[in-house]
Each structure stands twice: as C-alpha cells, then as structure tokens.
Amino acid sequence: MTDLATSEAPAGAALAETDDGTARLHRAILIGIAAALVVAPFVAYPVFVMKVLCFALFALAFNLLLGYGGLLSFGHAAYFGMASYVCAYTAKNWGLTPELAILLGTAVAAGLGTVFGALAIRRQGIYFAMITLALAQMVFFFSLQTPRFTGGEDGIQAVPRGKLLGLLDLTDDRALYWLVAAIFMAGLLAIYRIIHSPFGQICKAIRDNEPRAISLGYRANQYKLMVFVLSAALAGLAGATKAIVFQLASLTDVYWTMSGEVVLMTLVGGLGTVFGPIVGAIVMVTMQNYLATLGAWVTVIQGVIFVACVLLFREGIVGVIAKAIKKPL
C-alpha cells in the first residue's frame, strides 16, 4: 500500500507537525463529539445511535491500521465478529457481567490479531490484504462449523444485557447508551492519543517510507504488528459492545462483506483523517436503516452513492472539509 500512502499522505502527514491551531481545533472537535453524544439520545433513537457508535468505533479501528499503519486489511470482520461471539457466549452461558464479557471479547480479538498480524505483516500491499481476507474466511468457516459455540446461522440470540458491575441494570436503552457512549469516547481518545504519540509518528514514518525508517534503526515489523494488534483489539471492542447492544451475535459479523463494509465506511468518511471514519459510519448505517423502507432500490442507491463518492469527493467527506479549511482533521 505504499503508493496509497503517498497519494493520501497530505492529510495525515501534516499531522506530524501538529501546530497549535490544529491541536486546538481537534480538541474543539473532540469536545463537540462528546457534547453530541450527550445530546444524541434525546434527539435520535438510542438503539440506532448505539449502532452507529459501534460501527464508528469499528471504522476508527480499521482506519488506525490503514490510515496510519498503511496496511489495508480485508479481514477485519474476523476480530469484530469473533469478539462479538465471545462476548455473547460468555454473557449468556457463563453469566458474565457485560463489562467482563466485553473485555474478554476484546482480549480474544487482540489474541487473534496477534497471530494473524504476525503472519500477515510479512507481506505488503494487495498480498497483505489477501492474507487477512483468507484468514478471516477461516474464522468464518470455524464459526460455521462450531454451532455449539456460535449457534450456526441462527446466531447466539437473547444475550442478556445484564447489570454493569453487577449493579446498574442495562436493559433500559438509555442506561446502556451511556455505557456505549463511554466506550466509544474512550476508544476514540485512545486512537487519537496513539496517532499523536511517538509510536504513532514512527508508524507513519514506516508507512511513508519503510526502508528509511528501518535505516533509522526502527524495527518496522514490530511497529506494524503492534498497530495491527491495537487495531484488532479495538475492532473487537466494537464487536463485543455490539453483541450487548443487540443481544445477539451472528454470522453476518464474521462474513467478508462486513470486512468490505468497514473499508467503505472509512473511504466514504475520509481515509487517513482522524474523524472521517465516524462520519463514514454515520452515513453507511443511516443508509442501511433509513433506506430500508425503499425496498428493492436500496442496493442501487447505495451503489450510486459509492460511485459518486469516488468520482466527486474522493478524499471522503471529512477529507473534502479538511481540504477546504486547510487543516488536517
């Protein structure tokens, strides 16, 4: 993906010399997002907002790997879906409290990410993408072949939302919402922090010019693996949270189309921008939900939007805005 990185560098690379103005703008946006999270459940349907947040976190995690690690994974559904299964299974069958189930799901995703990442980062570009896809297909196969664990295509249904820390009842949508919003915000801040840390800077250096970074003494592969695992874990966090929100985990979450969806979200929102994936997730999930009443025209309209996106605003929605205000977002 090296050529990708260079063509898309401006938005990300400029971040390296974070000037005061940009930092202030970003802080303002983060506060704006937090404020929006507080207001959202009162103006929109909470379950819908929670879904958006889960997918936004998923897209953010994916973008961490692609936008900042320069690695296009086409198998992120594996971490998202597997975490979702683990969380749903442990919450339902072991009676774990939701926070433990989510953590366990996330941990499994991180573990899976470590194994898959170690294999995949040995290749680059399209080959990297294909290895991740193939490994994810194996996870799908595993999920299909272990109906005792995953429930086959019926999925794991009726997962209890349980009580947070054994105290706070989450069956109420509003109560659950605050948990999901907090998880999302924590994830966003963590990613923001990672991108702007020395670690993130080195990742970007490797993305832009790997041989040079190696010649400077950085162990490129270790950094790549690290960012891969972080991304997988965060994707897992999103998937596990989703299992609690919808009280189910199903095969759609591990299927390759889910990996494709997250790529689309990131591209629509703006690749290599910090906030783009959030916008992309909002657009995609809204389309899925509110176009649903249009019946058979849904796929056609989605298709037209993708084509228009590539032809008209290639940098993604946030990318276009960033260009207009000449500040990285």
Partner 1 sequence: MFELLGIPPQALFGQVLLGLINGSFYAILSLGLAVIFGLLNIINFAHGAQYMMGAFVAWMALNYLGLNYWFALVLAPIVVGAVGVVIERLLLKRISHLDHLYGLLLTFGLALIIQGLFRNQYGSSGLPYGIPPQLAGGQNLGFMFLPNYRAWVIVASLAVCLATWFLIEKTRLGAYLRAATENPTLTQAFGINVPLLVTLTYGFGVALAAFAGVLAAPVYSVNPNMGGDLIIVVFAVVVIGGMGSIMGAIVTGFALGLVEGLTKVFYPEASSTVIFVIMVLVLLVKPAGLFGRPA
Partner 2 sequence: MKLRTFLATGALAALLASPAFAQQISVKAGVLNDRSGIYADLAGEGSVIAARMAVEDFKAAEKGIKVEIVSADHQNKPDVGSTIARQWYDQDGVDLILDVPTSSVALAVSQITKEKNKININSGAGASDLTGKACNANTIHWTYDTYALAQGTGGAMVKAGGDTWFFLTADYAFGHALERDATEIIKKAGGKVLGSVKTPFPGTDFSSFLLQAQASKAKVIGLANAGSDTTNAIKQAGEFGIVAGGQKLAGLLVFVSDVHALGLQAAQGLVLTESFYWDRDDQTRAWSQRFAKLNNGKMPTMVQAGVYAGFLHYLKAVEATKSKDTATVMAKMKEMPTDDPLFGKGSIRPNGRKMHDMYLYEVKKPSESKGEWDLYKQIAVLPAEQAFQPLAETGCPLVK
Q: What residue ranges bind partner 2 (CB under 8 A)?
A: 45, 47-48, 51, 144, 147, 151-155, 157-158, 173, 242, 246-248, 250-253, 288-289, 292-296, 298-299
Nearer to partner 2, 8 or 261 (CB): 261
- CB within 8 Å of 62: residues ≥ 6 apart: 73, 76, 231, 235, 262, 263, 265, 266, 277
**Residue 290 near partner 1 by CB under 8 A:** no
Applying the rule CB under 8 A, the residues between 111 and 140 that interact with partner 1 are 119, 122-123, 126-127, 130-131, 133-135, 137-138, 140
- 163-164 and 168-169 beta bridge pairing: antiparallel
Sign of the torsion angle spanned by Cα atoms 313, 49, 234, 204: positive
Q: In whole angstroms, what is the distance from residue 80 CA to residue 75 CA?
A: 9
CB 225 → partner 2: shortest distance, Å? 31
Q: Which amino acid belongs to residue 286?
A: T
Among 47, 175, 298, 320, binds partner 1 (CB under 8 A): 298
Q: Give the residue among 102, 130, 105, 103 at the shortest CA–CA distance from 116.
A: 130
Displacement of CA 317 from its chain's centroid (Å): 17
SS3 of residue 168 by DSSP: strand
**Residue 302 near partner 1 by CB under 8 A:** yes
**Residue 256 near partner 1 by CB under 8 A:** yes
Q: In whole angstroms, what is the distance from residue 250 CA to residue 247 CA?
A: 10
Nearer to partner 2, 155 or 200 (CB): 155
Q: Which residue has the tokens 């926070």?
A: 99
Nearer to partner 2, 30 or 47 (CB): 47
Nearer to partner 1, 189 or 300 (CB): 300
Q: In whole angstroms, what is the distance from residue 200 CA to residue 226 CA?
A: 10
The binder of 248, among partner 2, partner 1, none, by C-beta within 5 to 8 A per type, is partner 2
**Residue 284 near partner 1 by CB under 8 A:** no
**Residue 145 near partner 1 by CB under 8 A:** yes
Nearer to partner 1, 27 or 122 (CB): 122
Please calculate the CA angle 204-260-263 and round it to the nearest 5 degrees. 30
CB 95 → partner 1: shortest distance, Å? 32
Q: In whole angstroms, what is the distance from residue 26 CA to residue 28 CA?
A: 5
CB 303 → partner 1: shortest distance, Å? 3
Q: In whole angstroms, what is the distance from residue 92 CA to residue 97 CA?
A: 9
The binder of 138, among partner 2, partner 1, none, by C-beta within 5 to 8 A per type, is partner 1
**Residue 45 near partner 1 by CB under 8 A:** no
Site residues (vs partner 1, CB under 8 A): 1, 3-4, 7-8, 72, 119, 122-123, 126-127, 130-131, 133-135, 137-138, 140-141, 144-145, 256, 260, 263-264, 267, 271, 296-300, 302-307, 309-311, 314
